[in-house]
Structure 1
Amino acid sequence: MDLASLLALAWPVMLKGTGYTLLFAVSSMLLGLPVAALVTLVRVLDLKILARIAAVYVSAIRGTPLLVQVFIVYYGLPGVGIELSPITAGILTLTLNVAAYMSETLRGAIAAVANGQWLAGTSLGLTRHQTLRFVVAPQALRAAVPSLSNSLISLIKDTSLVSVIAVTELMLATKELISTTFQPFPLYMAAAGIYWVLSLAFEQLQRKLEKRLAYPN
Protein backbone atom coordinates (compact mmCIF):
# COMPACT_ATOMS: atom_id res chain seq x y z
CA MET A 1 0.00 0.00 0.00
CA ASP A 2 1.48 3.37 -1.04
CA LEU A 3 1.60 6.30 1.37
CA ALA A 4 -1.23 8.26 -0.27
CA SER A 5 -3.61 5.29 -0.09
CA LEU A 6 -2.58 4.61 3.50
CA LEU A 7 -3.27 8.19 4.59
CA ALA A 8 -6.59 8.23 2.73
CA LEU A 9 -7.61 5.08 4.63
CA ALA A 10 -6.27 6.27 7.97
CA TRP A 11 -7.43 9.90 7.98
CA PRO A 12 -11.13 9.37 8.87
CA VAL A 13 -10.27 6.93 11.66
CA MET A 14 -7.53 9.12 13.10
CA LEU A 15 -9.74 12.21 12.84
CA LYS A 16 -12.39 10.48 14.94
CA GLY A 17 -9.74 9.46 17.44
CA THR A 18 -8.52 13.06 17.58
CA GLY A 19 -12.05 14.14 18.43
CA TYR A 20 -12.08 11.82 21.43
CA THR A 21 -8.64 13.09 22.45
CA LEU A 22 -9.92 16.67 22.44
CA LEU A 23 -13.07 15.61 24.30
CA PHE A 24 -11.00 14.05 27.08
CA ALA A 25 -8.48 16.88 27.29
CA VAL A 26 -10.86 19.85 27.18
CA SER A 27 -13.54 18.24 29.40
CA SER A 28 -10.99 17.21 32.01
CA MET A 29 -9.38 20.65 32.01
CA LEU A 30 -12.71 22.48 32.38
CA LEU A 31 -13.85 20.14 35.15
CA GLY A 32 -10.44 20.07 36.79
CA LEU A 33 -10.07 23.84 37.14
CA PRO A 34 -12.87 24.30 39.74
CA VAL A 35 -11.68 21.20 41.60
CA ALA A 36 -8.13 22.59 41.63
CA ALA A 37 -9.40 25.99 42.79
CA LEU A 38 -11.35 24.36 45.64
CA VAL A 39 -8.38 22.25 46.73
CA THR A 40 -6.14 25.32 46.62
CA LEU A 41 -8.66 27.37 48.60
CA VAL A 42 -8.96 24.93 51.49
CA ARG A 43 -5.17 24.53 51.67
CA VAL A 44 -4.30 28.22 51.45
CA LEU A 45 -6.95 29.15 54.01
CA ASP A 46 -5.83 26.17 56.13
CA LEU A 47 -9.31 24.81 56.78
CA LYS A 48 -8.07 22.17 59.23
CA ILE A 49 -9.45 18.71 58.40
CA LEU A 50 -10.40 19.69 54.84
CA ALA A 51 -6.87 20.98 54.23
CA ARG A 52 -5.42 17.66 55.39
CA ILE A 53 -7.78 15.68 53.16
CA ALA A 54 -6.84 17.90 50.22
CA ALA A 55 -3.13 17.41 50.93
CA VAL A 56 -3.55 13.62 51.03
CA TYR A 57 -5.50 13.72 47.74
CA VAL A 58 -2.77 15.74 46.02
CA SER A 59 -0.04 13.51 47.42
CA ALA A 60 -1.85 10.32 46.33
CA ILE A 61 -2.41 11.58 42.79
CA ARG A 62 1.13 12.85 42.37
CA GLY A 63 2.59 9.70 43.93
CA THR A 64 0.87 7.14 41.70
CA PRO A 65 1.02 6.60 37.92
CA LEU A 66 -1.91 7.86 35.86
CA LEU A 67 -2.25 4.41 34.30
CA VAL A 68 -2.84 2.89 37.74
CA GLN A 69 -5.44 5.57 38.46
CA VAL A 70 -7.27 4.68 35.23
CA PHE A 71 -7.36 1.02 36.28
CA ILE A 72 -8.62 1.87 39.78
CA VAL A 73 -11.49 4.01 38.46
CA TYR A 74 -12.56 1.74 35.60
CA TYR A 75 -11.80 -1.74 36.96
CA GLY A 76 -11.67 -1.13 40.70
CA LEU A 77 -14.79 0.95 41.38
CA PRO A 78 -17.20 -1.75 40.07
CA GLY A 79 -15.98 -3.85 43.01
CA VAL A 80 -17.66 -1.36 45.36
CA GLY A 81 -20.78 -0.98 43.24
CA ILE A 82 -19.76 1.98 41.09
CA GLU A 83 -19.64 1.11 37.40
CA LEU A 84 -18.72 3.77 34.85
CA SER A 85 -18.63 3.81 31.07
CA PRO A 86 -15.14 4.00 29.52
CA ILE A 87 -15.60 7.63 28.50
CA THR A 88 -16.91 8.69 31.93
CA ALA A 89 -14.14 6.76 33.69
CA GLY A 90 -11.52 8.33 31.44
CA ILE A 91 -12.75 11.88 31.97
CA LEU A 92 -13.11 11.36 35.74
CA THR A 93 -9.59 9.96 36.07
CA LEU A 94 -8.00 12.68 33.97
CA THR A 95 -9.98 15.35 35.84
CA LEU A 96 -8.83 14.15 39.25
CA ASN A 97 -5.27 13.82 38.00
CA VAL A 98 -4.91 17.21 36.37
CA ALA A 99 -6.78 18.96 39.21
CA ALA A 100 -4.15 17.81 41.70
CA TYR A 101 -1.31 19.17 39.60
CA MET A 102 -3.12 22.42 38.82
CA SER A 103 -3.87 22.96 42.51
CA GLU A 104 -0.14 22.88 43.22
CA THR A 105 0.42 25.36 40.39
CA LEU A 106 -2.20 27.69 41.84
CA ARG A 107 -0.88 27.30 45.37
CA GLY A 108 2.64 28.10 44.22
CA ALA A 109 1.42 31.15 42.30
CA ILE A 110 -0.43 32.42 45.38
CA ALA A 111 2.64 31.85 47.54
CA ALA A 112 4.68 33.91 45.06
CA VAL A 113 2.51 37.00 45.61
CA ALA A 114 4.25 39.40 47.97
CA ASN A 115 3.14 39.18 51.59
CA GLY A 116 2.53 42.89 51.50
CA GLN A 117 -0.54 42.28 49.36
CA TRP A 118 -2.10 40.28 52.19
CA LEU A 119 -1.23 43.06 54.63
CA ALA A 120 -2.73 45.63 52.28
CA GLY A 121 -5.99 43.69 52.19
CA THR A 122 -6.05 43.50 55.97
CA SER A 123 -5.44 47.24 56.26
CA LEU A 124 -8.46 47.81 54.03
CA GLY A 125 -10.63 45.79 56.40
CA LEU A 126 -10.87 42.72 54.17
CA THR A 127 -11.05 39.23 55.61
CA ARG A 128 -8.41 36.68 54.58
CA HIS A 129 -10.89 35.09 52.18
CA GLN A 130 -11.77 38.47 50.63
CA THR A 131 -8.10 39.41 50.31
CA LEU A 132 -7.43 36.13 48.53
CA ARG A 133 -10.36 36.63 46.17
CA PHE A 134 -10.00 40.29 45.28
CA VAL A 135 -6.31 41.07 45.79
CA VAL A 136 -4.09 37.98 45.68
CA ALA A 137 -5.90 35.60 43.31
CA PRO A 138 -5.98 37.95 40.27
CA GLN A 139 -2.22 38.49 40.57
CA ALA A 140 -1.55 34.79 41.11
CA LEU A 141 -3.63 33.84 38.07
CA ARG A 142 -1.41 35.88 35.77
CA ALA A 143 1.65 34.03 37.05
CA ALA A 144 -0.08 30.65 36.86
CA VAL A 145 -1.23 30.81 33.21
CA PRO A 146 1.95 29.34 31.65
CA SER A 147 1.99 26.38 34.05
CA LEU A 148 -1.75 25.80 33.67
CA SER A 149 -1.32 25.80 29.90
CA ASN A 150 1.50 23.28 30.23
CA SER A 151 -0.87 21.08 32.23
CA LEU A 152 -3.36 21.18 29.36
CA ILE A 153 -0.68 20.29 26.81
CA SER A 154 0.48 17.41 29.01
CA LEU A 155 -3.14 16.35 29.39
CA ILE A 156 -3.51 16.06 25.61
CA LYS A 157 -0.66 13.55 25.59
CA ASP A 158 -1.90 11.76 28.71
CA THR A 159 -5.21 10.97 27.01
CA SER A 160 -3.36 8.18 25.20
CA LEU A 161 -3.47 6.19 28.44
CA VAL A 162 -7.26 5.86 28.35
CA SER A 163 -6.82 3.57 25.33
CA VAL A 164 -6.27 0.77 27.86
CA ILE A 165 -9.99 0.88 28.72
CA ALA A 166 -11.06 0.50 25.09
CA VAL A 167 -11.76 4.16 24.29
CA THR A 168 -10.85 4.76 20.67
CA GLU A 169 -8.94 8.01 21.09
CA LEU A 170 -6.07 8.87 18.78
CA MET A 171 -3.57 6.33 20.10
CA LEU A 172 -5.92 3.36 20.05
CA ALA A 173 -7.24 4.38 16.64
CA THR A 174 -3.65 4.38 15.39
CA LYS A 175 -2.97 0.95 16.88
CA GLU A 176 -6.10 -0.48 15.27
CA LEU A 177 -5.03 0.89 11.89
CA ILE A 178 -1.58 -0.63 12.30
CA SER A 179 -3.11 -4.03 13.08
CA THR A 180 -4.87 -4.03 9.70
CA THR A 181 -2.35 -2.21 7.49
CA PHE A 182 0.94 -3.37 9.06
CA GLN A 183 2.40 0.11 8.53
CA PRO A 184 3.55 1.22 11.99
CA PHE A 185 6.11 3.90 11.10
CA PRO A 186 3.99 6.25 8.94
CA LEU A 187 0.94 5.85 11.18
CA TYR A 188 2.83 6.52 14.40
CA MET A 189 4.47 9.52 12.73
CA ALA A 190 1.04 10.78 11.67
CA ALA A 191 -0.25 10.38 15.23
CA ALA A 192 2.79 12.23 16.59
CA GLY A 193 2.15 15.00 14.09
CA ILE A 194 -1.48 15.35 15.21
CA TYR A 195 -0.45 15.54 18.88
CA TRP A 196 2.10 18.18 17.94
CA VAL A 197 -0.44 20.25 16.00
CA LEU A 198 -2.87 20.12 18.93
CA SER A 199 -0.12 21.22 21.30
CA LEU A 200 0.85 24.10 19.01
CA ALA A 201 -2.77 25.24 18.84
CA PHE A 202 -3.04 25.37 22.62
CA GLU A 203 0.32 27.14 22.85
CA GLN A 204 -1.13 29.89 20.68
CA LEU A 205 -4.14 30.15 22.99
CA GLN A 206 -1.76 30.36 25.92
CA ARG A 207 0.11 33.30 24.37
CA LYS A 208 -3.13 35.15 23.65
CA LEU A 209 -4.34 34.60 27.21
CA GLU A 210 -1.02 35.79 28.63
CA LYS A 211 -1.23 38.99 26.59
CA ARG A 212 -4.81 39.56 27.69
CA LEU A 213 -3.98 39.13 31.36
CA ALA A 214 -0.71 41.08 31.20
CA TYR A 215 -0.43 44.33 33.09
CA PRO A 216 -0.78 47.36 30.79
CA ASN A 217 2.49 49.14 30.01
Structure 2
Amino acid sequence: MTERLLRILINSFGTILLPGLTVTIPLTILSFGFALVIAVTVALVQFAHVPVLEKLARLYIWIIRGTPVLVQLFVVFYGLPGVGILIEPFPAAVLVFSVNEGAYCAETIRAALESVPQGQLEAGQCVGMSYLQIIRRIILPQALRTAFPTLASSLIAMVKDTSLAANITVTEMFMTTQRIVARTYEPLALYIEVGLIYLLFCTVLTRLQAWGEKKLNQRGAQRS
Protein backbone atom coordinates (compact mmCIF):
# COMPACT_ATOMS: atom_id res chain seq x y z
CA MET A 1 0.00 0.00 0.00
CA THR A 2 1.45 3.34 -1.04
CA GLU A 3 1.92 6.19 1.38
CA ARG A 4 -0.60 8.30 -0.57
CA LEU A 5 -3.31 5.62 -0.40
CA LEU A 6 -2.70 5.03 3.31
CA ARG A 7 -3.01 8.76 3.97
CA ILE A 8 -6.27 8.88 1.97
CA LEU A 9 -7.74 5.98 3.96
CA ILE A 10 -6.75 7.47 7.31
CA ASN A 11 -8.10 10.91 6.43
CA SER A 12 -11.31 9.55 4.93
CA PHE A 13 -12.17 7.23 7.84
CA GLY A 14 -13.52 9.98 10.06
CA THR A 15 -15.13 11.73 7.12
CA ILE A 16 -17.08 8.56 6.27
CA LEU A 17 -17.80 7.55 9.87
CA LEU A 18 -19.33 10.91 10.83
CA PRO A 19 -22.32 10.71 8.45
CA GLY A 20 -22.65 7.09 9.52
CA LEU A 21 -23.23 8.23 13.10
CA THR A 22 -25.27 11.33 12.25
CA VAL A 23 -27.26 10.15 9.22
CA THR A 24 -27.11 6.38 8.63
CA ILE A 25 -27.82 5.32 12.22
CA PRO A 26 -30.58 7.92 12.85
CA LEU A 27 -32.14 7.02 9.48
CA THR A 28 -32.11 3.35 10.46
CA ILE A 29 -33.52 3.90 13.94
CA LEU A 30 -36.30 6.25 12.83
CA SER A 31 -37.29 4.10 9.86
CA PHE A 32 -37.31 0.88 11.84
CA GLY A 33 -39.25 2.45 14.70
CA PHE A 34 -42.00 3.64 12.35
CA ALA A 35 -41.84 0.30 10.52
CA LEU A 36 -42.57 -1.56 13.76
CA VAL A 37 -45.62 0.63 14.41
CA ILE A 38 -46.89 -0.08 10.90
CA ALA A 39 -46.05 -3.78 11.17
CA VAL A 40 -47.81 -4.34 14.50
CA THR A 41 -50.91 -2.50 13.28
CA VAL A 42 -51.09 -4.40 9.99
CA ALA A 43 -50.37 -7.74 11.67
CA LEU A 44 -53.08 -7.20 14.29
CA VAL A 45 -55.61 -6.24 11.60
CA GLN A 46 -54.88 -9.52 9.82
CA PHE A 47 -54.85 -11.55 13.03
CA ALA A 48 -58.24 -10.17 14.06
CA HIS A 49 -59.64 -10.65 10.53
CA VAL A 50 -61.09 -7.13 10.46
CA PRO A 51 -63.33 -6.88 7.36
CA VAL A 52 -62.11 -4.60 4.55
CA LEU A 53 -59.04 -3.56 6.58
CA GLU A 54 -57.63 -7.07 6.28
CA LYS A 55 -57.90 -6.90 2.49
CA LEU A 56 -56.27 -3.46 2.47
CA ALA A 57 -53.47 -4.85 4.64
CA ARG A 58 -52.89 -7.72 2.22
CA LEU A 59 -52.92 -5.28 -0.70
CA TYR A 60 -50.34 -3.07 1.03
CA ILE A 61 -48.06 -6.03 1.72
CA TRP A 62 -48.45 -7.36 -1.84
CA ILE A 63 -47.56 -4.05 -3.48
CA ILE A 64 -44.67 -3.12 -1.19
CA ARG A 65 -43.03 -6.54 -1.14
CA GLY A 66 -43.49 -6.90 -4.89
CA THR A 67 -41.68 -3.69 -5.86
CA PRO A 68 -38.00 -2.77 -5.32
CA VAL A 69 -37.24 -0.32 -2.54
CA LEU A 70 -35.13 1.71 -5.00
CA VAL A 71 -38.17 2.18 -7.22
CA GLN A 72 -40.19 3.25 -4.18
CA LEU A 73 -37.52 5.83 -3.31
CA PHE A 74 -37.64 7.26 -6.82
CA VAL A 75 -41.45 7.36 -6.85
CA VAL A 76 -41.58 9.31 -3.58
CA PHE A 77 -38.63 11.66 -4.13
CA TYR A 78 -38.64 12.21 -7.88
CA GLY A 79 -42.20 11.22 -8.81
CA LEU A 80 -44.40 12.93 -6.22
CA PRO A 81 -43.11 16.45 -7.05
CA GLY A 82 -44.82 15.96 -10.40
CA VAL A 83 -48.18 16.08 -8.59
CA GLY A 84 -47.14 18.90 -6.28
CA ILE A 85 -45.90 16.87 -3.30
CA LEU A 86 -42.36 17.84 -2.32
CA ILE A 87 -40.52 15.89 0.38
CA GLU A 88 -36.99 16.59 1.56
CA PRO A 89 -34.45 13.78 1.00
CA PHE A 90 -34.10 12.57 4.61
CA PRO A 91 -37.86 12.49 5.41
CA ALA A 92 -38.48 10.84 2.03
CA ALA A 93 -35.97 8.11 2.88
CA VAL A 94 -37.52 7.60 6.33
CA LEU A 95 -40.98 7.35 4.77
CA VAL A 96 -39.97 4.82 2.14
CA PHE A 97 -37.85 2.63 4.41
CA SER A 98 -40.58 2.66 7.07
CA VAL A 99 -43.32 1.65 4.66
CA ASN A 100 -41.12 -0.93 2.96
CA GLU A 101 -39.80 -2.55 6.12
CA GLY A 102 -43.24 -2.38 7.72
CA ALA A 103 -44.61 -4.74 5.08
CA TYR A 104 -41.93 -7.36 5.74
CA CYS A 105 -42.09 -7.04 9.52
CA ALA A 106 -45.90 -7.26 9.41
CA GLU A 107 -45.65 -10.76 7.99
CA THR A 108 -43.09 -11.71 10.62
CA ILE A 109 -45.31 -10.48 13.45
CA ARG A 110 -48.46 -12.00 11.93
CA ALA A 111 -46.77 -15.40 11.81
CA ALA A 112 -45.63 -14.93 15.42
CA LEU A 113 -49.16 -13.99 16.52
CA GLU A 114 -50.58 -17.10 14.88
CA SER A 115 -47.96 -19.25 16.62
CA VAL A 116 -49.34 -18.34 20.06
CA PRO A 117 -51.55 -21.25 21.23
CA GLN A 118 -55.29 -20.60 20.93
CA GLY A 119 -55.62 -21.68 24.55
CA GLN A 120 -53.93 -18.43 25.62
CA LEU A 121 -56.76 -16.43 24.08
CA GLU A 122 -59.39 -18.68 25.64
CA ALA A 123 -57.70 -18.48 29.04
CA GLY A 124 -57.83 -14.70 28.93
CA GLN A 125 -61.52 -14.78 28.07
CA CYS A 126 -62.18 -17.13 30.98
CA VAL A 127 -60.80 -14.64 33.50
CA GLY A 128 -62.92 -11.84 32.09
CA MET A 129 -60.33 -9.95 30.06
CA SER A 130 -61.47 -8.00 27.00
CA TYR A 131 -60.12 -8.89 23.56
CA LEU A 132 -57.83 -5.84 23.52
CA GLN A 133 -56.50 -6.67 26.99
CA ILE A 134 -55.75 -10.24 25.89
CA ILE A 135 -53.91 -9.01 22.82
CA ARG A 136 -51.94 -6.36 24.72
CA ARG A 137 -51.07 -8.36 27.83
CA ILE A 138 -50.88 -11.97 26.63
CA ILE A 139 -50.73 -12.50 22.86
CA LEU A 140 -48.61 -9.58 21.63
CA PRO A 141 -45.78 -9.92 24.23
CA GLN A 142 -45.38 -13.61 23.40
CA ALA A 143 -45.52 -12.93 19.66
CA LEU A 144 -42.91 -10.19 19.83
CA ARG A 145 -40.63 -12.48 21.84
CA THR A 146 -40.95 -15.11 19.11
CA ALA A 147 -40.44 -12.56 16.34
CA PHE A 148 -37.46 -10.84 17.98
CA PRO A 149 -34.64 -12.72 16.16
CA THR A 150 -36.21 -12.12 12.74
CA LEU A 151 -36.98 -8.48 13.52
CA ALA A 152 -33.41 -7.96 14.73
CA SER A 153 -32.12 -9.44 11.48
CA SER A 154 -34.37 -7.05 9.56
CA LEU A 155 -32.87 -4.14 11.49
CA ILE A 156 -29.36 -5.27 10.58
CA ALA A 157 -30.38 -5.56 6.93
CA MET A 158 -31.85 -2.06 7.04
CA VAL A 159 -28.50 -0.59 8.09
CA LYS A 160 -27.08 -1.83 4.80
CA ASP A 161 -30.16 -0.85 2.76
CA THR A 162 -29.83 2.78 3.86
CA SER A 163 -26.98 3.06 1.34
CA LEU A 164 -29.74 3.25 -1.30
CA ALA A 165 -30.70 6.66 0.13
CA ALA A 166 -27.67 8.06 -1.67
CA ASN A 167 -29.75 7.77 -4.85
CA ILE A 168 -32.07 10.52 -3.57
CA THR A 169 -29.21 12.76 -2.40
CA VAL A 170 -29.20 11.78 1.29
CA THR A 171 -25.62 12.43 2.40
CA GLU A 172 -25.03 9.20 4.30
CA MET A 173 -21.89 7.05 4.37
CA PHE A 174 -22.08 5.69 0.85
CA MET A 175 -22.65 9.06 -0.82
CA THR A 176 -19.81 10.55 1.22
CA THR A 177 -17.57 7.74 0.02
CA GLN A 178 -18.62 8.34 -3.59
CA ARG A 179 -17.59 11.97 -3.29
CA ILE A 180 -14.19 11.04 -1.86
CA VAL A 181 -13.70 8.50 -4.67
CA ALA A 182 -14.52 11.17 -7.26
CA ARG A 183 -11.82 13.36 -5.75
CA THR A 184 -9.08 10.78 -5.10
CA TYR A 185 -9.67 8.12 -7.81
CA GLU A 186 -9.20 5.27 -5.33
CA PRO A 187 -12.49 3.35 -5.62
CA LEU A 188 -11.33 -0.11 -4.53
CA ALA A 189 -9.74 0.89 -1.23
CA LEU A 190 -12.42 3.42 -0.30
CA TYR A 191 -15.38 1.15 -1.06
CA ILE A 192 -13.73 -1.59 0.98
CA GLU A 193 -13.27 0.92 3.79
CA VAL A 194 -16.94 1.94 3.83
CA GLY A 195 -17.87 -1.74 3.62
CA LEU A 196 -15.84 -2.39 6.76
CA ILE A 197 -17.60 0.46 8.55
CA TYR A 198 -20.98 -1.05 7.62
CA LEU A 199 -19.63 -4.37 8.87
CA LEU A 200 -18.66 -2.71 12.16
CA PHE A 201 -22.17 -1.31 12.66
CA CYS A 202 -23.78 -4.64 11.80
CA THR A 203 -21.43 -6.53 14.12
CA VAL A 204 -22.43 -4.31 17.04
CA LEU A 205 -26.11 -4.90 16.25
CA THR A 206 -25.51 -8.65 15.95
CA ARG A 207 -23.97 -8.68 19.43
CA LEU A 208 -26.94 -6.70 20.76
CA GLN A 209 -29.28 -9.18 19.10
CA ALA A 210 -27.53 -12.09 20.81
CA TRP A 211 -27.73 -10.26 24.15
CA GLY A 212 -31.43 -9.51 23.64
CA GLU A 213 -32.23 -13.11 22.74
CA LYS A 214 -30.39 -14.30 25.84
CA LYS A 215 -32.38 -11.95 28.08
CA LEU A 216 -35.68 -12.97 26.49
CA ASN A 217 -34.84 -16.67 26.90
CA GLN A 218 -34.00 -16.09 30.56
CA ARG A 219 -37.34 -14.33 31.14
CA GLY A 220 -39.16 -17.13 29.37
CA ALA A 221 -37.42 -19.72 31.53
CA GLN A 222 -38.30 -17.83 34.72
CA ARG A 223 -41.98 -17.57 33.76
CA SER A 224 -42.18 -21.24 32.87
The normalised TM-score by structure 2 is: 0.91
Candidates 184, 190, 195, aligned match of 2:193: 190
Equivalence for 1:168? 171
Equivalent position SS for 1:82: coil
The alignment-based identity, stated in percent, is: 37
The superposition leaves residues 148-202 of structure 1 with CA deviations (integer Å, 9 ceiling, x where unpaired) of 1011011001101111111111111111111111111111111111111111111
Deviation at 1:23, TM superposition (A): 1.7
State the AA in 2 paired with 1:197. L
Question: Contact between 2:13 and 2:193, CA under 8 Å: does it hold in 1?
Answer: no
State the AA in 1 paired with 2:4. D
- Stretch moving more, 115-124 or 98-107: 115-124
- Stretch moving more, 57-66 or 205-214: 205-214
Q: Tell me how many residue pairs correspond in the alignment.
A: 217
The superposition leaves residues 77-126 of structure 1 with CA deviations (integer Å, 9 ceiling, x where unpaired) of 11222100011101111111111111111111111112221222222233
Candidates 65, 68, 73, aligned match of 2:68: 65
State the AA in 1 paired with 2:141. P
Structure 1 segments, 4+ long, off by >6 Å, are none
What does residue range 7-22 of structure 1 map to in structure 2 within 5 Å? Answer: 7-19=9-21, 20-22=23-25
The normalised TM-score by structure 1 is: 0.94
Question: Contact between 1:43 and 1:54, CA under 8 Å: does it hold in 2?
Answer: yes
Equivalent position SS for 2:73: helix
Question: Contact between 2:31 and 2:94, CA under 8 Å: does it hold in 1?
Answer: yes
Report whether the alignment pairs 1:5 with 2:25: no
In 2, the alpha carbon distance for the partners of 1:154 and 1:12 equals 23
List gaps (5 residues or longer) in structure 1.
none
CA RMSD after TM alignment: 1.4
